[in-house]
Amino acid sequence: MFQFLKFFVMWWRVWQMRNKVLHGLLVLPDSDVWEWSNNFVHDFHEYSKVGNQCRTMVSVMTHWQVPRVGEFKINTDVSICIRDKISGIGVVIWDSHGHVRVSLYQNINVNFHPQIVEALAILKGISLSSNKGFMLAVLDRS
């Protein structure tokens, strides 16, 4: 399970770096993927040892913008209840007119760190976008 988890975290980091390249932001060296992923998984394991309570994650809303013409935007969100060992993953994919093209909500029976569940939601969004043929997509995790 540990290697599987590390695989998802590494791909999440690669996706983040890809988005930075697309938007002309600072790009970290490739070596950052491995080091950051190892640190993230280590922190996840340490956090998992703390308590067994339901936690609420609150995202700060920023001004949402439609994607550019010909692109799609993937929005993801998660909800987590550590006590019940269940998480919810939500994905919405928008077109350049601001219309929802596809959405998904899925419960998963896991007790992962919130950022791991977010990574799973992002991977689900990427997979859904690809399966629907929305190949030029921008990830928006606001």
Could you tell me the residue range of the domain that residue 88 belongs to?
2-140
Exposed, middle or buried by CB within 10 Å (0-12, 13-18, 19+), for 108? middle
pLDDT tens column, 2-18: 666 777 777 777 777 77
The pLDDT assigned to 61 comes to: 47
DSSP string over 20-65: HHHTT-----THHHHHHHHHHHHHHHHHHTS---EE---PPP----
The per-residue pLDDT for 46 is 66
N-terminal to C-terminal alpha carbon distance within the chain: 29
Indicate the number of domains in the chain.
1
pLDDT digits (tens, 9 = 90+) for 31-85: 777 777 777 777 766 655 655 444 444 444 456 788 889 889 999 988 888 778 8
pLDDT at 93 over 80: yes
Question: Domain containing 50 — which CATH number?
Answer: 3.10.20.370
Amino acid identity at 33: V
Residue 76 bridge partners (DSSP)? 91
